[in-house]
A and B are shown apart, each in its own frame.
Chain A
Amino acid sequence: MSEPIRPIRTEADHAAALAQIDALFAASPGSAESDRLEVLAVLVSEYERTHSTAMPAHPIEVLNLAMKAQGRTQAELAELLGSRSRASEVLGRRRQLSAAMVEKLAQAWAIPAALLSAPYSVESRLMRTLKIGVVVLAIMIGLSAAAIGGLYAWYGSDLPNSEQIAATLAGSTENIPGFTPLRELPPEVIKAFLAAEDEDFYAHGGYSRTAILRAAWRTVSDKRQGGSTITQQVAKNVLLKETPSFGRKIKEIILSDRLEDALTKDRILEAWFNVIYFGGKEYGIAAASQHYFGKTPGNLTIAEAAYLAGLPKAPNVYRLDVADNRTRARDRRDWVLARMAADGMITVSAARLASAEPLTTQDR
């Protein structure tokens, strides 16, 4: 007599029931063994149903498997659905299977309609476009990085290194007649020049990316250049003797980078104050102070410092010793004073007082 059938409560019961099923599997229909097999099968499938977390199948995975099982091709699917793109979009999960498509697949290929009708999400065109956009952007960034690396290597190979730059600057600036150490310049003078020329001087690494992009755009659009930081101006005026060009701009950036490695910010600023051009024959802050105001830099007023700070941008446009420039020079000075006030370098009232001062040069 066979063992009585018991409920399946544990994994061990499940395994034992499966073993019995395997033993009875070939039972003839209508036999006692077949009845026993049927009861065991109900118990096992119910146990498995309650002890598993079976998820619904994805309709497109069902379609894929059915096609593979029957040896169907994408071309045949295209023929059935009416177009290649439709088949491609369906298999790529970029298009929902419509009711008409499900019906065709059920009739022609005997794929159960219920399995193909389950809802599923498709990738929107916008999402796909965004994904492609991200990939294109990544490629462009990669190519740009490679191009910048290539330019840096190409133009930087014959430029001096940091040590050579330090030695060159020591030799070329400190021997200038009237060399003015930075410590001898009043804070307002330094502030005025930073406000006019490079307010982020102490924050950037030698060059400003936005300023370079702006300058590049100007170069492309109307051939003008600009956008140089104080470090770049030192590199350009002391270390480079070439005429303006795209190549020189690249070299200027590379040298600025190396200059920042070679010298402190104060040392770079000091070099700049002593080589910068102020119009006429005047180079350096000492010569300019003397030429325009008959003073040493240490005795400049805020208004005078602001005027001198406005000069390096376009010395011959703002020179006070040319009568036609007086209005432009005054406007430029007032602009520098406004920048100083806006940047919190001086108070608004100090800027107003300085703006009210007449702009006059020493009598010559």
Chain B
Amino acid sequence: MRILGGDNLGAYAKRKPRKREYLLAFRALVDTASWTLPKDVEAQFVQVASLTPPDRIAFDFPEEDLRIEMRVNCALGLARIFNVGPSINRKERQR
């Protein structure tokens, strides 16, 4: 997939250096993925991805306190990362 808005990952890694390796790994997995349908994303990230049709996917990693939100256009092979921040599920767990 062609990543767009990848600078969001870099900016967050600068603010949270301990998450840098994880973010790099995430980027690498998306970069090498070849999803044909948004559901393919859910299948590859079955434990952490949730799809909001038609094209929004949120990846939530409670243990890493990390959430990455993106849109995918599988026909053109695009992954647009538009938000990186703390996990929502972690906050809910803590409540």
**Which residue of B28, B44, B46 is within 8 Å of A115 (Cβ)?**
B28
**Which residue of A26, A62, A70 is within 8 Å of B28 (Cβ)?**
A62
Please determine whether B28 and A25 come into contact, CB atoms closer than 8 angstroms.
no
Binary flags per residue of B1-44, CB closer than 8 Å to A gives 1, else 0: 01111110010000000000110111111001000000000001
**Which residue of B4, B21, B27 is within 8 Å of A44 (Cβ)?**
B4
Please determine whether B21 and A57 come into contact, CB atoms closer than 8 angstroms.
yes
Binary flags per residue of A46-64, CB closer than 8 Å to B gives 1, else 0: 0010011111111001101
Please determine whether A57 and B7 come into contact, CB atoms closer than 8 angstroms.
no
Tell me the nearest residue of chain A to B47, going by C-beta. A71
Q: Chain B contact residues: over half helix, strand or loop, or mixed? A: mixed
Instruction: Give the contact-size bracket for chain B.
Output: 20 to 34
Q: Is the C-beta of A187 less than 8 angstroms from some C-beta in chain B?
A: no
**Which residue of A34, A52, A64, A110 is within 8 Å of B6 (Cβ)?**
A52
Q: Is the C-beta of A166 less than 8 angstroms from some C-beta in chain B?
A: no
Q: Is the C-beta of A323 less than 8 angstroms from some C-beta in chain B?
A: no
Q: Is the C-beta of B65 less than 8 angstroms from some C-beta in chain A?
A: no
B2 proximity list for chain A (CB < 8 A): 41-42, 45
Cβ distance A32 to chain B, nearest Cβ, rounded Å: 14
Please determine whether A68 and B4 come into contact, CB atoms closer than 8 angstroms.
no
For the complex with contacts A44-B4, A57-B29, 17 further pairs of A-B residues with Cβ separation under 8 Å are A26-B55, A37-B76, A38-B76, A42-B2, A48-B4, A54-B27, A55-B24, A62-B28, A62-B29, A66-B29, A68-B47, A69-B45, A69-B47, A70-B45, A71-B46, A112-B32, A115-B32
User: Which B residues form the contact surface with A (CB < 8 A)?
Assistant: 2-7, 10, 21-22, 24-29, 32, 44-49, 54-55, 59, 61, 63, 71, 73, 75-76, 78, 80, 82
5 inter-chain pairs at a CB distance below 8 angstroms, sorted by A residue, are A21-B80, A22-B71, A55-B24, A57-B24, A61-B25
